[in-house]
Chain A
Amino acid sequence: MRVALLVAVAVSSVAVTAARAAERPAVVVTSGKEQQFGVALQKFGGNFDAEAYREGMAAALEFSSLFRLIDRKAFLGPTTTEVLSDRADVNCTEWSTIGADVFVEGVQRVEQDQFVAEFAVWDLAGCQSKLNRRYRQASSADPLILAKRMADDIVEVLTGARGVASTELTFVSKRGGNPEIFVMDADGGNQRAATANGSINNFPSWSPSGDSIIYTSYRTENRPLLYISTRGQGKPGRILAPLSSKPLYRAVFHPSGRELAVVMSPSDSTEIYRVDLAGKNPRRLTQNRAIDVSPSWSPDGSKLAFVSDRSGSPQIYLMDSDGANVKRLTFNGNYNTNPAWSPDGRWIAYQGRVGGQFDIWLIDPEGNVNLPLISHPRSDESPCWSPDSRKIAFSSTRRGSADIYVIDSSGDHLQRLTRSQGDDTSPSWGPYPR
């Protein structure tokens, strides 16, 4: 009897506790000011210039805007990796104590003619190994390529989308006098000319594979035609030969890489066409007397954003990939142009004129939310998205001549990528390297 009573009391007290837990109000946590992951990055062990490698990796991590590097002076453990840790070796509490969320260690060596780098990423809150990966490349290649690649991997481990430090941008630069096509790393490093023809070159745009850049050039016949420069090949290829009796102003690849949206003037009007890479089967998508330009594909290739002045002023429109269902998207201001559809499909960035200058705006494809990303007394133009949709590059005259800048899609972390004397304009962000 006594036992039964005790059991009854115990059961009821458990029930009461459970009920009370369910009753408790939830703690609603909203994101406050921006926080970053603290990362403790060891110098990689091995026989090579590990200091430069660590700096390159640190810079690439910081470029993601997600990390702050923990000063090595604060490390309680070793600052250099001797060998990669087993789970039992990693003192997660110790690393957490100095403010780290992530611990990164690595080793490297040269094997025959290959540079081999292996690294490991530890999530300190749960004391879990998140990644252990080995890369190899020709020992003659720049080790910093792997440093950036590893940093991008770490971003992916924590967010599900790879970082973009190892991607590239192409742009137009007049630093040598005339506009030529240039290429640079996403952080602005390693700027180099892709064309040097002394003519007028404009509107560079990457192929989805990242192997080629398509652009408009006056290099032959003194009129605008489209060319493709391909990595490792000396001469550009002229394309769309069957269409070349017409001026071809600009082209962008379909996300499949198999066809193009092309702006050309069949007669007086300027229209958008869809055409395969051989220049065959052109399909006219826009049908009116207005100027239709600046096409940008949705990431799935089913729609296009473009600019038309059919309403009297240039505005952003959307249409299906066959030209049907044209819908005006922007109604704010009297000059909106250069739409760029984000790779995740959620936004269309564009340049809109407010007051005397252009600013970069974001609008969703439904047209429900339209907001300025950046507002500055000088003009910001030609936005393009990083492949992870977290950054936007654009050109700006805020320091006199135009330069390329990059900013997070949240509007934070503005960085200037180019500092040349001549104008740098019309950026296009390349895909992830393979």
Chain B
Amino acid sequence: MTGTEELFIQLGELRRQELRRLIAFSAAAHLVVVVAFCFTPESKISLPRGVVSVELVSLPAAARPAPSAPVAKPEPPKPVPPKPVPPAPKKVVLPAEPTTPKVKPKVVKPAVVEKPAPTPAPAENLEDVLAQFREESGEEAPPTEIAKAAPAAIGTPGSPTGVAISPEVAAWIKRAKIHVRKNWVVPPGFRTQALEARVEVNLDASGAVRGNPRITQPSGNPWYDEGVVRAIQKSSPLPAPPEAGKWNFVFLPEDSY
């Protein structure tokens, strides 16, 4: 079949049915249609929702942006280490193709699309599961694990002052991350957006959140930021930090691209 012919399948179901119809139905059939037309409940899209009136009894907080689609943060400036490939929605395995969006091949062509095969659990997840298990069983992660995990858990390569992060801090960061993420609801519509919020949290020695978490770098989407604060509040108490005081948390959706 040529593309042209195939395309006609789409618009052309109409045409082919027209032909069949021409052959199959005589003028008598048309009469039947006309009669049916007169007696059927034609085109009554029942509209039960006619009059709904709304009264805003009260709305807390200050005015919000119009409740339209979530505000997306402007895309462009993101020279972050590129996420290799957008994670495929379930059931599909995408090939890793680490191209930055700017680079030529405009269209990322998945070379292989495997059918229902379950997505193999990425190593990161496995690590999380283990870490979570350790957290729940009160077991400390082995030192090698800590050493390996530290740089990954920290957003910046090395600490600003060049001082190495102690294994104690690295281990706490990992546990705090796992603890908080369990309490963080990321609506499906936000998961694929490049949203990033930074929040300052005041923790006491036991890990309880003191006062209100403060957004120090908003994502551009107030509902996302609110969700981040909610996640912190819900996570209190966190695992006891190495030191009481202010800690920064950065929230990133995993699937953003």
Contacts and interface: CB of A to CB of B under 8 A. Distances in A.
The answer to whether A and B belong to the same complex is yes
B40 A196 contact: yes
A263 B47 contact: no
A240 interface: no
A291 interface: yes
Interface in A101-151: 101, 118, 123, 125-126, 128-138, 141-142, 145-146, 149
Contact of B254 (A23, A32, A232): A32
A330 B57 CA distance: 49
Interface string A12-42: 0000010011111111111110111100000
Interface string A246-264: 0001100000000000010
B57 to A, nearest CB: 4
A173 interface: no
B234 interface: yes
Contact of A141 (B41, B42, B49, B222): B49
A370 interface: yes
Contact of A160 (B70, B169, B181): B70
B69 A27 contact: no
Interface string B156-170: 100111010100010
Contact of B223 (A23, A101, A160, A390): A160
Interface string A234-276: 1110000000000001100000000000010000001000000
A137 B51 CA distance: 6
Interface residues of A, number: 123
Interface string A328-363: 011110110110000110100000001000010001
A294 B188 contact: no
Contacts of A388: 69, 189
Contacts of B176: 27
Contact of A309 (B4, B90, B156): B4
Contacts of B55: 133-136
Nearest to A124: B234
Given A234-B43, A249-B14, A370-B107, A32 B128 contact: yes
B49 A37 contact: no
A25 B159 contact: yes
Nearest to B190: A159
Contacts, number: 350
Contacts of A287: none
Q: How big is chain B's contact interface, by range?
A: 35 or more
A367 B106 contact: yes
Interface stretch (A3-11, A53-61, A71-79, A403-411): A403-411
Contact of B67 (A25, A161, A195): A161
Nearest to B65: A160
Contacts of A329: 107
B197 to A, nearest CB: 10
Interface in B39-98: 40-61, 64-65, 67-72, 86, 88-92, 94
Nearest to B165: A25
A309 B49 CA distance: 43
B128 A312 contact: no
Interface string A198-226: 11101000000000010010110011100
A346 B3 contact: no
Interface of B: 3-4, 6-8, 10-11, 13-14, 17-18, 21-22, 30, 32-33, 36-37, 40-61, 64-65, 67-72, 86, 88-92, 94, 101, 106-110, 113, 115-116, 128, 153-156, 159-161, 163, 165, 169, 173, 176-177, 180-192, 198, 212, 221-223, 227, 229-231, 233-234, 243, 245-255, 257
26 contacts: A17-B245, A23-B161, A29-B180, A31-B252, A32-B128, A66-B187, A126-B233, A132-B57, A133-B57, A141-B50, A145-B52, A162-B67, A196-B36, A197-B37, A198-B33, A219-B33, A222-B18, A229-B43, A234-B42, A334-B3, A368-B108, A369-B108, A372-B113, A409-B192, A410-B255, A411-B88
